[in-house]
């Protein structure tokens, strides 16, 4: 887990988000954000900052996991537990986004705190059961086999798989599939972003903040 801590520290050292020139022209990006401070051959450099929360209290983490056994049926992955010990969630790569009201902060990655993990995942199970609970294919599913840990905007999430041979992988939890549990049948529906949380942080570092959602979100 030492590498996970190192990667987390590397993420927090970034003061600019690298936005690919292949995705936006300067004029398009300038209309959207404040703080374009430079460029490379491949990317525009947009000033950003981070808002990590304080590390979680061990008692709080234990209480959350006990409370959420009825939602997950399993403990959360050790990698996620370790990340919460470094910061109990937070907002990463925060930009000054322009809208019709003026300038507002926009976090590219909002990693959930223990409180948010409990509330959001409980609601995802409730929504799944309400929409698909009577379906013969899903009536026997009473817990989630993933934990949504990061906001992926527009009602979508990044989630970590909790069981099976791919346990621990990070995938894109797309709202259009009604938050159904992950299965081999859904492998083509739920896009794999990284094989682990550590690999996900490596991806964020390697792409300098941009590509933590993979192919599923190429825009701000």
Give the CATH number of the domain where residue 167 resides: 3.40.1580.10
Structure tokens at 11: 């993420």
* Chain segment 59-90, per-residue pLDDT in tens: 999 999 998 988 998 889 999 999 999 999 99
Range of the domain at 39: 2-208
Q: What is the pTM of this model?
A: 0.95
| 217 domain residue, yes or no | no
Cβ neighbors of 93 (< 8 A, separation 6 or more) are 14, 17, 48, 50, 107, 108, 109, 209
Task: Give the count of domains, the chain.
Answer: 1
Q: Kindly give the confidence (pLDDT) of every residue in the chain, 220 residues in length, as a single tens digit, with 9 standing for 90 and above.
A: 569 999 999 999 999 999 999 999 999 999 999 999 999 999 999 999 999 999 999 999 999 999 898 899 888 999 999 999 999 999 999 999 998 788 999 999 999 999 999 999 999 999 999 999 888 888 888 899 999 999 999 999 999 999 999 999 999 999 999 999 888 777 778 899 999 999 999 999 999 999 999 888 888 8
Query: Is residue 186, in this structure, part of any structural domain at all?
Result: yes
Closest CA relative to residue 190, chosen from 209, 164, 208, 210: 164
In a domain, 218, yes or no: no
DSSP collapsed to 3 states, 138-197: CCCCCCCCEEEEEECCCCCEEEEECCCCCCCCEEEECHHHCCCCCCHHHCCCCCEEECCH
- Determine contact, residues 33/97, Cβ cutoff 8 Å: yes
Is the separation of the CB atoms in 136 and 124 below 8 Å? no
Q: Residue 220: inside a domain, yes or no?
A: no
Q: Which residues touch 193 (CB under 8 Å, ≥6 apart)?
A: 158, 170, 171, 172, 200, 203, 212, 213, 214, 216
93 assigned to some structural domain: yes
**219 domain-assigned:** no
Answer whether residue 37 is part of any domain.
yes
What is the CA 200 to chain-centroid distance, rounded?
A: 9
Kindly state the DSSP code that residue 61 receives in the 8-state scheme.
H
In a domain, 119, yes or no: yes
């Amino acid at each position: 887990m030492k590498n996970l801590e190192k990667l987390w520290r590397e993420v927090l050292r970034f003061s600019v988000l690298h936005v690919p020139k292949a995705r936006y022209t300067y004029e398009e990006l300038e209309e959207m954000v404040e703080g374009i401070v430079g460029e490379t051959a491949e990317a525009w450099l947009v000033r950003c900052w981070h808002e990590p929360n304080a590390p979680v209290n061990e008692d709080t983490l234990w209480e959350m996991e006990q409370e959420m056994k009825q939602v997950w049926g399993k403990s959360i992955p050790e990698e996620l537990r370790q990340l919460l010990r470094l910061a109990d969630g937070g907002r990463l790569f925060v930009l000054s986004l322009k809208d019709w009201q003026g300038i507002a902060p926009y976090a590219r990655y909002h990693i959930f705190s223990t409180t948010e993990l409990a509330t959001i995942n409980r609601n995802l199970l409730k929504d799944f059961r309400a929409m698909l609970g009577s379906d013969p294919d899903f009536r026997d599913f009473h817990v989630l086999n993933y934990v949504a840990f990061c906001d992926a905007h527009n009602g979508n999430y990044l989630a970590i798989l909790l069981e099976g041979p791919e346990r621990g992988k990070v995938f894109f939890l797309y709202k259009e599939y009604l938050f159904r549990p992950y299965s081999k049948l859904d492998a083509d529906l739920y896009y794999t972003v990284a094989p682990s949380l550590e690999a996900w942080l490596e991806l964020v570092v390697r792409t300098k903040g941009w590509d933590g959602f993979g192919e599923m979100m190429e825009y701000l």
